Structure 1
Amino acid sequence: MTTSLSDIETPAAVIDVARTQRNIGRMQDRMNALGVSFRPHVKTTKCVAVADRQRAAGANGITVSTLREAEEFFAAGYDDILYAVCIAPHRLSRAQGLRDQGCRLRILVDSVEAAQAVVEAQSRRDPFEVLIEVDTDGHRSGVGPEDERLIEIGRILHTGGATLCGVLTHAGNSYELDDPEALEHLAEQERALSVRAAERLRAAGLPCPIVSVGSTPTALSARALDGVTEVRCGVYVFFDLFMTNVGVCAIDDIALSVLTTVVGHQSEKGWIIVDAGWMAMSRDRGTARQRHDYGYGIACDLAGHPLKGDLVMIAANQEHGILAATNGRLISLENRFPIGTRLRILPNHACATGAQFSEYHVATDNGIETWRRFNGW
């Protein structure tokens, strides 16, 4: 085990474990107060060590976005898993394989065709457990809560022998907001329309025990969750610059950063060149369309505190990042940031930046631990 971040090869993904634990506790406490079960989405971290801390805090089950995640977490002892992407027919045999091994894997559909494929592919001795995705904000996927297809899908699953577990939604439009009142309104819309979909299924004589909602902004903005049984969200565990613009966290809540080394200067341009380019930070420039553009990320000292002068990664090539002061002032680069200086860059999107790495480096009382993460589908 290395003893210092100065001993790690760069670029590297670094977790601030104190911030991570604080974020986990904040969300779990909120879900407990709202009286709902919490099923965190592990797609952000893809890391068993982080999920273990979420489970220890009180989480019930996990949410995944790939079957690779389901397989990895099941092998690590997680057997209550929701695969929250509408199932493609070719993945049904792989999903059934997990269930055959004892994994309580629930899957998702939002079309008549997918429901029919599930019924045709399932095992009679172990039918699939299925939720129907409901569209509550026009963001991406799902069937409308008043759409007749909702009932048709439910009947296909129920009469075909599958276990109809309930409805699920994701208020993805929350990522486009930055006003607390608007976020509260969308959280209530997410709740109300999901509950309405559940009521319609029940009125049609179909089972609907689960009403599952979730996004980090709405989870942190909802005032009440009457009729909801569980909440899912994931990026809250690390947060990122995008979420600071949405308004649900502060810079000091961001728990993931990229460790990088200064490798050059362009003094006449006011540039610092570092060895973390877009292969480390990702190509995600989501903050460019928000109220504050953070480039590819903001620079911090080795302790994780933003540097004075508002240094931002204004540009990135594959293995090079360019830092400059956003206030336009030229600074004494060679004196303040000599070659070899270690810095940490806070990312725009924790999910995308984490995906660039196969491991996290975590500072503990005993030194720097390495936590495995994984990618793939």
Structure 2
Amino acid sequence: MFDGFETPCLILDPQRLRRNAERMLEHCAARNVALRPHLKTTKSAEVARIATGGRMSHVTVSTLAEAQYFARAGFNDLLYAVGITPNKFARVAGIMAETGKTITLCVDSIEMAQALAESAVTAPALIEIDCGEHRGGLPAETDELIAIGRALGLQLRGVISHAGHSYATDQIAEVKSVAKAEISAANAAAGQLRAAGMAVEVVSIGSTPTVMHADSFDGVTEVRAGVYLFCDLSQLSRNICTLDDMALSVLTTVIGHNRKAGVLTLDAGALAMSKDIGANAFLSSAHYGWLCDTKTLEPSGLSINAVHQEHGTVQVADPVWYERLPIGSTVRVLPGHACLTAAGGYGAYHTTDGQVWPRVDGW
């Protein structure tokens, strides 16, 4: 199937991808909430069209390179879900002027709200709310919220939150609790702004676990999620997906045997797989990815146990594996965290039905 492929390379199963996308689109439609897919995982216009169901708008990005790429591909209403700073104003303005597309920005401080309002950038903005992860945003109850809203003036569109701490558990009941708190925080912030006389059109929340398991989206206008498109061992370990949902893998070649040390070496290391081992919290066998059969994607029971920049080390307890996986043979590896694996600078996806889908990298 992949004879002659230079490795490492990203392998994407379009059938699984479409199934995952359709499931989420149906999930959100049934709950009367708009889906704004996060494309930081996929970085591909072909995947984006599948994720939106063909709608060329309402997508999320995490780099301005992505914003430019998707705007040029025809997507409108892009949300840049990373706090904006003045050194990026010119590029945002340039992308919008070149493409005619809208990029919504995020702020979480009075300083940035004032800087944006005083700049030549006419982009709409959301105020980021910290709902518990403490990565970015400000508490919903802070007095600064009103000041930021007033500083933004007509550029204010609403509020945004992200419950990344939903990954701290593998218990669905706890995910539901996190989702409830996230939605409550976003609605509380929106309510304060409205009470102060400001229009709030957008209440945006999301992470794949909370979008999948929230009991209600009352008050929420849109949800954001991204890794559900590919899935990975982190999602599997937290009961968010099944093995058959995993659409992304890395094709890698066996480049060495060290029988004395009891290891074999792959050409997929830290740059190809990432150093994220978050899946191991609830799936101790995940390590840096599961080795699978190249054709069937059936797990072999082996993992990448250690990574260097371009080398992946696999511990081998049974020497029969040296015969099963001779030097020059290939395996596919299911990643621990698809977002970081796919961000590794691959340039394109090779699909299981023989296509090559370009993608964007960098910032």
TM-score interval w.r.t. the shorter chain? over 0.9
Distance 1:48 1:293 in 2: 33
Q: Which residue of 1 aligns with 2:105?
A: 107
Alpha-carbon distance between aligned partners in 1 of 2:294 and 2:172, rounded to the nearest angstrom: 33
**C-alpha displacement at 1:57, in angstroms?**
5.5
Say yes or no: does 1:6 pair with 2:12.
no
Q: Does 1:148 align with 2:143?
A: yes
2:189 maps to a residue whose letter is: A
Q: Report the Cα distance in structure 2 between the residues aligned to 1:92 and 1:335, rounded to whole angstroms.
A: 57
- Matched with 2:18 is 21
Contact 1:63 1:81 in 2 (8 A): yes
Residue among 262, 279, 284 paired with 1:287: 279
**1:248 to 2:243 alignment:** no
Name the aligned partner's letter for residue 311 of structure 1: L
**C-alpha distance in 2, partners of 1:63/1:272?**
40
1:97-156 per-residue CA deviation (whole Å, 9 max, x = no partner) reads 233331111111010000000111035xxx331110011114311111111111110111
> Which aligned pairs between 1:87-102 and structure 2 lie closer than 5 A?
87-101=84-98, 102=100
Shift of 1:338: 2.2
Other structure's SS at 2:53 match: helix
How do residues 1-377 of structure 1 correspond to structure 2 at under 5 angstroms? 4-56=1-53, 60-101=57-98, 102-122=100-120, 127-158=122-153, 162-308=154-300, 310-324=301-315, 329-356=317-344, 357-364=346-353, 368-377=354-363
Amino acid at match of 2:93: Q
Distance 1:78 1:60, change over 3 A: closer
Runs of 4+ in 1 over 6 A off after TM superposition: none
Name the CA shift for 1:173/1:213 in 2 (closer, same or farther; >3 Å): same
Contact 2:265 2:311 in 1 (8 A): yes
Take 1:212 and 1:70, find their aligned partners in 2: how far apart are those partners? 18
> What is the rounded CA distance, in whole Å, between the counterparts of 1:147 and 1:293 in structure 2?
43
Say if 1:139 and 1:171, in contact at 8 Å, map to a contact too.
no
Partners of 2:279 and 2:134 in 1: CA distance: 18
**More divergent stretch after superposition (259-268 vs 40-49):** 259-268
Shift of 1:268: 4.1
Deviations 1:174-213 (A, max 9, x none): 1111101000111111111111111111011011011000
1:58 CA drift (Å): 5.5
Instruction: Count the aligned residue pairs.
Output: 361
Question: Which sections of structure 1, spanning at least 5 residues, go unmatched?
Answer: none
Cα distance change of structure 1 residues 148 and 279 upon mapping to structure 2, 3 Å threshold: same
TM-score normalised per structure 2: 0.95
Separation in structure 1 between the aligned mates of residue 334 and residue 133 of structure 2, nearest angstrom: 31
Per-residue CA deviation, residues 313-347 of structure 1 (Å, 9 max, x unaligned), is 1112222222235xxx4241232222222210011
Structure-2 change in CA distance of 1:171 and 1:307 (3 Å): closer
Change (3 A) 1:59 1:290: farther
Q: Unaligned regions of 5+ residues in structure 2, if any?
A: none
**2:56–2:76 Cα contact (<8 Å) kept:** no
SS at match of 1:53: helix
**Mapped contact 1:41–1:64 kept (Cα < 8 A):** yes
SS at match of 1:13: strand
Q: CA deviation at 1:272?
A: 2.3
What per-residue deviation string (whole Å, max 9, x for no partner) do you get for residues 153-177 of structure 1?
Answer: 011111xxx3210000000111111
Assess if the C-alpha contact under 8 Å between 1:280 and 1:353 holds in 2: yes
Query: Equivalents in 1 of 2:282, 2:54: separation in Å?
Result: 33
User: 3-state DSSP class of the match of 2:352?
Assistant: strand
In 1, the alpha carbon distance for the partners of 2:357 and 2:96 equals: 27
Contact preservation (8 Å) 1:281, 1:347: yes
The root-mean-square deviation of aligned C-alpha atoms, in Å, is: 1.7
Give, in whole Å, the separation in 2 of the partners of 1:259 and 1:39: 30
Q: Which TM-score applies when normalising by structure 1?
A: 0.91
Amino acid corresponding to residue 281 of structure 1 in structure 2: M
Aligned-residue identity in percent: 42
Query: CA-to-partner distance for each residue in 1:259-309, whole Å, 9 max, x for gaps?
Result: 01222222344322222222211222223444424111000001243334x
What is the CA–CA distance in structure 2 between the aligned matches of 1:194 and 1:244, rounded to whole Å? 28
